[in-house]
């Protein structure tokens, strides 16, 4: 009898372990969206009224899940406010619309500095010695659960939604990229999509490098020529902020990203 009770308890724990997270997420997503959050959301996504009613509700639900599950940390003396949390969450969740995906399941912490911050990286020289590089950064995405952002540059991204630069879209596209196991420019895709993805992104990456080398004007920032991971992040920024230009100049890349992100930003402009 005792063994049966223990077995039933184990089964109950396993069932609750599988059932409770989904139930909790549904409860969080179904909460009424606070009125002051709606005001902040209107500022964070200036084209919010261009989204369909279903997309707006979906965005709100994802924002609620994001804010309930992620921890924000103010750095360099910055105090975290609802405006900071909502603005970052809203833009990050724009990348999740219409897609059956979790709300950045690997991400746990968002560190926010008041402005550009210094990142130190150790590099090995050819002679075997090691040197530390100091870089001023607007944002950084780590595959082990952290995103770091400059609040000043987050606000710049909101203030100008057509310049092709948005640090939140950039860093959170890196988070999507790393969900496949490594940040290499190929996020999780349907199995039969990788060949087309690799072919088109490889060609477009080479073209951007050629534009950089020959000083040709490009709709995408040259930073995307750094490596395939940065190309995907820069292409994402361009897709959401310069969709018509990207569609005109790089139609195959635009269609690829439209299929991946399951939205058409040309409808919002």
pLDDT tens for residues 129-160? 544 444 445 667 766 789 999 999 999 999 99
Taking the CA of residue 31 as centre, how many other CA atoms within 13 Å lie in the half-sphere pointing to its CB? 16
Q: Please give the pLDDT value at position 126.
A: 54
The pLDDT-based confidence of 22 (bands split at 50, 70, 90) is low
Q: Over 90: is that where the pLDDT of 23 sits?
A: no
* Cα 90 from Cα 47, distance rounded (Å): 12
Which whole number is the average pLDDT over 21-30? 71
Which whole number is the average pLDDT over 150-176? 96
**In the β-sheet with 146-150, what is the strand arrangement from edge to edge?**
71-74, 109-113, 146-150, 139-142
The pLDDT-based confidence of 266 (bands split at 50, 70, 90) is very high
User: What are the phi and psi torsion angles at 165 (to 5°)?
Assistant: -120, 120
Q: Over 60: is that where the pLDDT of 1 sits?
A: no
Taking the CA of residue 72 as centre, how many other CA atoms within 13 Å lie in the half-sphere pointing to its CB? 21
Q: Please give the pLDDT value at position 121.
A: 47
Q: Please give the pLDDT value at position 116.
A: 81
pLDDT tens-digit map of 35-68? 999 999 999 999 999 999 999 999 999 999 999 9
Question: What are the sequence ranges of the domains in the chain?
Answer: 32-268
CA 10 to chain CA mean position, Å: 38
pLDDT tens-digit map of 59-118? 999 999 999 999 999 999 999 999 999 999 999 999 999 998 899 999 999 999 998 866
* Cα 252 from Cα 185, distance rounded (Å): 16
Which whole number is the average pLDDT over 183-192? 88
Which whole number is the average pLDDT over 231-244? 98
Q: Please give the pLDDT value at position 15.
A: 41
- How many residues does the structure list for the chain? 269
Q: Please give the pLDDT value at position 190.
A: 81
* Cα 20 from Cα 130, distance rounded (Å): 48
Count of helix runs (H) and strand runs (E) in the chain: 10, 6
Counting beta carbons within 10 angstroms of the beta carbon of residue 228, is it exposed (0 to 12), middle (13 to 18) or buried (19 or more)?
middle
The pLDDT-based confidence of 7 (bands split at 50, 70, 90) is low
Q: Please give the pLDDT value at position 140.
A: 79
CATH architecture of structural domain 32-268 = 3-Layer(aba) Sandwich (3.40)
């Amino acid at each position: 009898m005792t063994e049966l009770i223990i077995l039933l308890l184990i089964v109950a724990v396993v069932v609750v372990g599988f059932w409770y997270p989904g139930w909790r997420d549904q409860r969080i997503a179904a909460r009424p969206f606070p009125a002051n959050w709606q005001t902040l959301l209107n500022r964070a996504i200036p084209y919010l009224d261009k989204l369909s009613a279903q997309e707006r509700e979906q965005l709100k639900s994802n924002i609620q899940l994001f804010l309930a599950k992620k921890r924000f940390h103010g750095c360099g003396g910055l105090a975290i406010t609802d405006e900071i949390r909502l603005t970052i969450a809203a833009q990050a969740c724009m990348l999740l619309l219409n897609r059956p995906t979790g709300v950045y399941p690997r991400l746990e912490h968002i560190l926010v500095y008041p402005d550009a911050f210094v990142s130190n990286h150790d590099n090995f020289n050819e002679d075997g010695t090691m040197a530390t590089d100091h870089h001023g950064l607007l944002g950084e995405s780590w595959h082990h659960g952290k995103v770091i952002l400059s609040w000043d540059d987050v606000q710049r991204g909101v203030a100008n939604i057509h310049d092709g630069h948005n640090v939140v879209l950039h860093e959170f596209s890196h988070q999507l990229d790393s969900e496949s196991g490594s940040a290499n420019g190929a996020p999780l895709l349907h199995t039969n999509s990788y060949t087309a993805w690799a072919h088109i992104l490889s060609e477009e990456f080479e073209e951007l490098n050629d534009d950089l080398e020959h000083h040709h004007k490009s709709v995408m920032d040259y930073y995307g020529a750094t490596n395939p991971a940065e190309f995907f992040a820069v292409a994402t920024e361009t897709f959401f902020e310069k969709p018509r230009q990207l569609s005109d100049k790089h139609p195959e890349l635009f269609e690829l990203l439209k299929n991946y992100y399951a939205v058409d930003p040309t409808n919002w402009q």
